[in-house]
Amino acid sequence: MVKRFIDFTVALALVLLMFPVMLSTAIAIICSMGQPILFLQTRPGYRGHPFKVIKFRTMAEQYGPDGIPLPDAQRMQPLGSLLRRLSLDELPQLFNVLKGEMSLVGPRPLLMEYLPLYTPEQMRRHDVKPGITGWAQVCGRNALSWEEKFALDVWYVDHQSFWLDLKILARTISRVWSGSGVAKAGFATTEKFRGSKLPAEEVRNG
């Protein structure tokens, strides 16, 4: 209950504070990419229950002859790259927090198609609400392997506290400022998770 109160209060304050930034971002997206402004996708939340995550759109809606979207690297727009580097594309998720679907801090909500691929240990990342930022994001983000990220997520589940959340939020500001770890080398964002061939390595708090 305490975390929910803090999430709601801080998210509401941030929505009010960042409204000019969100409005400017929306106008920039319309001018450079047209509509839609927002990207909505079904993601697994607490206990794997699906919800619609809200983000600012960063990619063009371009499809191949087979009707399948082109690779991320081909669809990523210059404005989209900037929004991702500054993490401004994540701001609409504050509304997910207000709705109680997400927390400010927690494991990032990934794709529904990954659920059957997790090991039982990795699946524990869904024992808490997903977050806008998390322990894996401030410890390397997309520069990490999937196994490293999932191990960090589970570590957070086991060690979550008010003070750890404050530490993660403080580190998030530094990470956003530096723009580090936004994309994995050779990818527009990161490669798809296809399951772990080896047990996730044990990752300690850094």
Rounded to whole angstroms, the Cα distance separating 16 from 25 reads: 15
CA 188 vs. chain centroid, Å, equals: 15
Domain boundaries, given as residue ranges, for the chain: 2-178
Report the candidate in 135, 130, 183, 178 with the shortest Cα–Cα distance to residue 156: 135
Rounded to whole angstroms, the Cα distance separating 99 from 90 reads: 15
State yes or no: pLDDT of 188 exceeds 60.
no
The pTM assigned to this predicted structure is: 0.84
For residue 70, give both structure tokens: 């082109």
Confidence of residue 201 (pLDDT cuts 50, 70, 90): very low
Q: Are 129 and 151 in contact (CB under 8 A)?
A: no
Task: Give residue 67's pLDDT.
Answer: 66
Task: Give residue 184's pLDDT.
Answer: 53
Higher pLDDT, 75 or 27: 27
Mean pLDDT of 118-127: 95
Pairing state between β 50-56 and 131-133: unpaired
For residue 192, give both structure tokens: 């798809």
Confidence of residue 66 (pLDDT cuts 50, 70, 90): confident
Residues 22-59 have pLDDT tens digits of 999 999 999 988 899 999 999 999 999 999 999 999 88
3-7, 60-64, 82-86, 99-103: range with lowest mean pLDDT: 60-64
- Give the long-range contacts of residues 193-197, CB within 8 A, separation 24 or more: 193/110, 193/111, 193/114, 193/117, 193/146, 194/117, 195/117, 196/117, 196/119, 196/122, 196/146, 196/147, 196/150
Mean pLDDT of 132-160: 92
